[in-house]
Structure 1
Amino acid sequence: MEKNSQRMLNLINKRFSDILSDGFKLFLRHYRTLILPLAIFQILVITFNILLLTDLKVYLDSLGISFLDILDKMGENTPLTGGEWNLFSLFFLLNFALIFLQNLIGAIIITIAMCSVSNYLYNKQMQIDVSFFSSFKSAFNRKIFIVILILGIFLPLGSFLLMFPSIIIFAFFIFLVFTYNIEGAGKPISEARNIAKGAFWKVIGVFIFNFIFIFVASSIYNIVLDLFLNPSSVAFSFNYNLWLSTRNYPMLILYQILINLVNIILAPLFICLSTSLFATLKTRKDLGLIYQRTRDPIHTRLIEE
């Protein structure tokens, strides 16, 4: 009991840097278990984007030439016809629709992916022995539709309309991927909101840190990849356009997997970082304590709420 209490104290006394460090440790410790299911979900995002949106992309490419002509006319202050204005509006509308559908597909699948491993990671972080397969199976219940609705649909919808609503939804309800499947959480939405209360910048900080880390790794990888693929070459452009025009889905999927390889390899990172933060915040809430640091960095004290 004393050992467990000390572990709880250590958990709630963690700085943000400690939380990130624990998230990385969780990532490394369980990478072999997580990489296969989460990589499959990442590949599903690519596959659905290719299968569902390639026709729209090809159609937009066909409009692109006429759109450039319209821009030239506008640059020369040449009046546009009614048909050209319609084409101009259609091009923008379809581009927005394409971006929204890409975000929607990605958000829904990634939300399901995080839900599938969240309970397993949380239990491991709390040093509770649990089977991955039983935890994975238990993730798919009726409550998961609440998570998909809020994070998989409302979140991309908010980012499509205005960025601010999506930030609020993310910061307030990201922990729903954990609370919907935790025993005793009768109201998972309220529970997620209460746990995230007062930790807005920490939640956003985890997202930004994950984004920067993957962005840097992807940039380095893409520089190396460009040396071999040379995507600006005429030969590569010809082959890629041929894949599009002939709907060569296998080659399009393989190409997208290749250029998104870093995202696939690092797919477990964000949920591991989020688990570390969630475990700390939930423990503080459950203990009903407010954490404060004294001026002496070696000592800490806890004051009852």
Structure 2
Amino acid sequence: MEKNSQRMLDLINKRFSDILSEGFKLFLRYYKTLILPLAIFQILVITFNIFLLTDLKVYLDSLGISFLDILDKLGENTPLTGGDWNLFSLFFLLNFALIFLQNLIGAIIITIAMCSVSNYLYNKQMQIDISFFSSFKSAFNKKIFIVILILGIFLPLGSFLLMFPSIIIFAFFIFVVFTYNIEGAGKPLSEARNIAKGAFWKISGVFIFNFIFIFVASSIYNTVLNLFLNTDSAIFSLNYNLWLSTRNYPMLILYQILINLIEIILAPLFICLLTSLFVTLKARKDLGLKYQRTRDPIHTRLIEELPRIYCPYCGVLIPSVKKFCPRCGENLSFMLNKEGEE
């Protein structure tokens, strides 16, 4: 029990830099396990975008205008005709629809991807032995539809209408990818909100750090790629437009995989960083401690004063001693007898 208490103490005292460091360790330790399923989900995003939205992209190209053309037209002294305004309105409407549908497809599939590995990473971080296959299979239950609704639909809808609602949804409910599949979490949304309470900047920091890291890596990769393939050349653009017009889906998919290769390779990074943060914040919440910005460590005496009981086998917090552990199922009768003697 002392060992488990010390581990909980170490978790709640982690600084943000420690959380990021632990997230990278998770990323490296379980990369071989995570890369295949998460890469497949990333490729699914590309595939669905191409099969569902290529016709819309071709129609937009057939309009024969661009944002620069519209700006040039507006800058001219000649008044715009009714046909010009109709064309501009159609162009803007279809572009917004295209962006929204791309975000919607990506958000739904990436949400499912995070759910598929979140429970595995959480248990591994808590030093609980679990097989990836059983964890992956258990992720696909009826509660996953709640996660898809919140993060896969409401999040892109909020970002399309106004940016602020999407920020609130992300900061308040991002941890639902974990809580929906954790035993004992009766209300996944409330549990996710309680764990995230007071940690807005840490959650935002994890997202921003992941974005910057992948952006820098992608920029370097695309620069090197352009040196070898000259992807910005007119000939390459003509080939790409030809693939679009002829609906050459295999070449379009291969091209997008090549362009987004870094995002595919680094797909497990965000969920690993998020797992590290989630475990720390959940430990604080379970111990009844409010989030503190101070760097001063929380003393061991706080742990000793709290009337908390942990399973000696898996370390899970038990509100009251029962005959069997609610998580690992081990017999705890000896703890009942000991409590009765005291």
TM-score category of the 2 structures, normalised to the smaller one: over 0.9
**Residues 243 and 3 (structure 1 numbering): CA distance in 2 closer, same or farther, change over 3 Å?**
same
Query: What is aligned with 1:258?
Result: 258
Write the deviation string for residues 103-137 of structure 1: whole angstroms up to 9, x where unpaired.
00000000000000000000000000001000000
Offset of residue 72 of structure 1: 3.6
Contact 1:293 1:301 in 2 (8 A): no
In 2, Cα distance between equivalents of 1:71 and 1:291:
49
The CA distance in 2 between the partners of 1:68 and 1:290, in whole Å, is 51
Please state how far the C-alpha of 1:26 moved relative to its aligned partner. Answer: 0.4
Query: What's the TM-score, normalizing by structure 2?
Result: 0.85
Give a deviation string over 1:239-281, Cα, whole Å, max 9, x none. 1111011000000000000010000000000000000000000
* Distance change in 2, residues 1:301/1:218 (3 Å): farther
Measured against aligned partners, the alpha-carbon deviations of 1:8-57 in whole angstroms (never above 9, x if no partner) come to 11111100100000000000000000000000000000000000001111
Q: 2 CA distance for matches of 1:28 and 1:128? A: 18
Q: Find the residue that maps to 2:290 and give its secondary structure.
A: strand
> Would the aligned equivalents of 2:116 and 2:139 in 1 still touch at CA under 8 Å?
yes
| Residue segments in structure 1 that go unaligned for 5+ positions in a row | none
More divergent stretch after superposition (78-87 vs 172-181): 78-87
TM-score normalised by the chain length of structure 1: 0.95
CA–CA separation in structure 1 for the residues paired with 2:74 and 2:154: 37
Paired residues, what number? 305
Taking structure 1 as reference, are residues 70 and 174 closer, same or farther at Cα in structure 2, changes over 3 Å only? closer
How big is each residue's C-alpha offset from its partner over 1:202-255, in whole Å with a ceiling of 9 and x where there is no partner?
000000000000000000001000101112222212211110110000000000
In the superposition, relative to structure 1, how do residues 81 and 207 fare at CA in structure 2: closer, same or farther (>3 Å)? same
Return the alpha-carbon distance in structure 2 between the equivalents of residues 226 and 142 of structure 1: 45
Superposition misfits of 4+ residues, deviation over 6 angstroms: 293-301
Shift of 1:292: 5.8
2:35–2:267 Cα contact (<8 Å) kept:
yes
Give distance in 1, aligned partners of 2:49 and 2:285. 40
Structure 1 or 2: larger helix share?
1
Moved more, 148-157 or 281-290: 281-290
- The whole-number CA distance in structure 2 between the counterparts of 1:225 and 1:20 is 29
Q: Give yes or no for contact 1:292–1:302 (8 Å, CA) kept in 2.
A: no
Residue 296 of structure 1 deviates from its aligned partner by 6.7
Distance 1:47 1:292, change over 3 A: closer
Question: Deviation at 1:64?
Answer: 3.4
Go from structure 1 to structure 2 and tell me whether the alpha carbon gap of 1:73 and 1:276 turns closer, same or farther (over 3 Å shift): closer
Structure with larger Rg: 2
Matched, 1:247 2:247: yes
How much identity, in percent, do the aligned residues show? 91
Contact 1:294 1:301 in 2 (8 A): no
User: Does the 8 Å CA contact 1:109/1:152 hold for their aligned counterparts?
Assistant: yes
Give 5+ residue unaligned stretches, structure 2: 304-340
Question: Cα deviations across residues 275-297 of structure 1 (Å, max 9, x unaligned)?
Answer: 00000000111111346688877
CA distance change for structure 1 residues 166 and 290 in 2, over 3 Å: closer, same or farther?
A: closer
Corresponding residue SS for 1:292 = coil
Of 39-48 and 78-87, the range deviating more from structure 2: 78-87
Give the deviation of 1:68 after TM superposition: 5.9
Q: Structure 1 residues 259, 67: closer, same or farther in 2, change over 3 A?
A: closer
Q: Distance in 2 between matches of 1:168 and 1:253?
A: 34
